[in-house]
Amino acid sequence: MSVRIADQVAIAAAAQALRAGELVAFPTETVYGLGAVATDAAAVARIFAVKQRPAFDPVIVHVESLDRARRVVARLDGAARRLAERFWPGPLTLVLPRAADIPDIVTAGLPTVGVRLPSHPVAQALIAATDRPIAAPSANPFGYVSPTTAAHVAAQLGDAVPLILDGGACAVGLESTIVGFADGQPTLLRSGAITLEMLEAELGAVRVATDTPLPTAPGQLPRHYAPRTPLTLIDSPAAVAAAERQHAALLATGPVADTDGFAHVERLSNDGDLLVAATRLFAAMRALDAGGFARVYALRVAETGIGRAIMDRLRRASH
Ligand code: TXA
Ligand code: MG
């Protein structure tokens, strides 16, 4: 395994490796992805093997231009096109009818494909240099917290991934918002930094998919972002008795009172800015997981704006 700073030389080498059927981990603005050429079914199969990901969980296809997006899907029109024009490049995945040359393994046999045009310059340069659409789930073992640095990827998948491009810490820190259009109705399938409010400002009312353990309700296995240490959601530190505090960590998105006695207090921002908190959430969950605490208590946040996505990830971690 090698971790390389994502300069032009490393990106060119990564593109060559991808075209030769190898896997490359690379940065996006949301989280690090584990990439393979999307039209190379054997290479995509290796992603599933490395992640130990069940075959029923489809993978997102990444493109660097609207033109390439159009070649991955059967059509990009109506509400989907409006969202693409408004929010791409950026942390938004659109689930659309797939083009014929996208293999079944990418979509888990579904008639649709998730497509996304990331804003990260390294991701864009890599896809352009490869000159292929890149299938990439988050670069973590299945069921674990997504990586937001190259070091996270190296720690968990390093032995299985020959090349990791290091583009620094991810600016968003949570996986992309996913929108589907079943029955022609825009539906929020996974919350992220493109918030429900932003989608509705563009389209009017947007449906919100509810969790189901079925694979066709994408990525929405109830427990999906799970650290190993048990995590409990609370409204206030007052919910935690003194005797429990000494073995527990408290996770807060901003300033918090009544923290005496906790073994550790993790504040994700100095002033409660939820965008800042989101960028640090997964790294904090990893660090807390390694801290040897009996339990992590996480303070709930209001479910508006990106608070919805933060609560979604905390809730999954708490299952
Ligand atoms: O931000 C992101 O989306 C990151 C970066 C690397 O781009 N990728 C990511 O991939 O989070 P992954 O595989 O960890 O999550 C993708 C989710 C899956 O849970 C999958 O169920 C859903 O997207 N998905 C992909 N294709 C789909 C489809 N055709 N229909 C419904 N859901 C789909
Ligand atoms: Mg994932």
- Per DSSP, the three-state class of 263 is coil
Q: What was the pLDDT predicted at 218?
A: 45
Task: Determine contact, residues 217/108, Cβ cutoff 8 Å.
Answer: no
CA proximity to 105, closest of 192, 190, 191, 44: 44
Q: What was the pLDDT predicted at 228?
A: 84
Phi, psi of 188 (to 5 degrees): -80, 115
Which residue, chain included where needed, has tokens 């689930």? 95
Helix, strand, coil share (%) of the chain residues, nearest 5? 35, 20, 45
How many other CB atoms are found less than 10 A from the CB of residue 168?
Answer: 13
Q: Which residues pair with 14 in a beta bridge?
A: none
Phi, psi of 206 (to 5 degrees): -120, 130
DSSP 219: T
The span from the CA of 78 to the CA of 89, in Å, is 18
Query: How remote is the CA of residue 173 from the centroid of ligand 1, in Å?
Result: 15
Q: What was the pLDDT predicted at 99?
A: 98
Please name the residue whose Cα sits nearest to atom 15 of ligand 1: 137
Residue-wise pLDDT for 117-154, tens only, equals 999 999 999 999 999 999 999 999 998 999 999 999 99
CA proximity to 11, closest of 171, 117, 163, 169: 163
Query: How remote is the CA of residue 137 from the centroid of ligand 1, in Å?
Result: 6
The span from the CA of 318 to the CA of 121, in Å, is 34
Query: How remote is the CA of residue 60 from the centroid of ligand 1, in Å?
Result: 5
User: Which portions of the chain are predicted below pLDDT 50?
Assistant: 213-218
CA 93 to ligand 1: nearest atom: 3
The span from the CA of 32 to the CA of 202, in Å, is 28
Instruction: Name residues contacting ligand 1 (CB within 6 A).
Output: 28, 30-31, 33, 57-60, 93, 95, 107, 110, 112-114, 116, 136-138, 175-176, 178, 218-219
The span from the CA of 30 to the CA of 174, in Å, is 5
Phi, psi of 214 (to 5 degrees): -80, 140
Q: What was the pLDDT predicted at 1?
A: 78
Residue 280 is encoded by which pair of tokens?
């640090």
Residue-wise pLDDT for 247-287, tens only, equals 999 999 999 999 999 999 999 999 999 999 999 999 999 99
Q: What was the pLDDT predicted at 224?
A: 57
How many other CB atoms are found less than 10 A from the CB of residue 12?
Answer: 14
CA proximity to 280, closest of 301, 251, 260, 257: 251
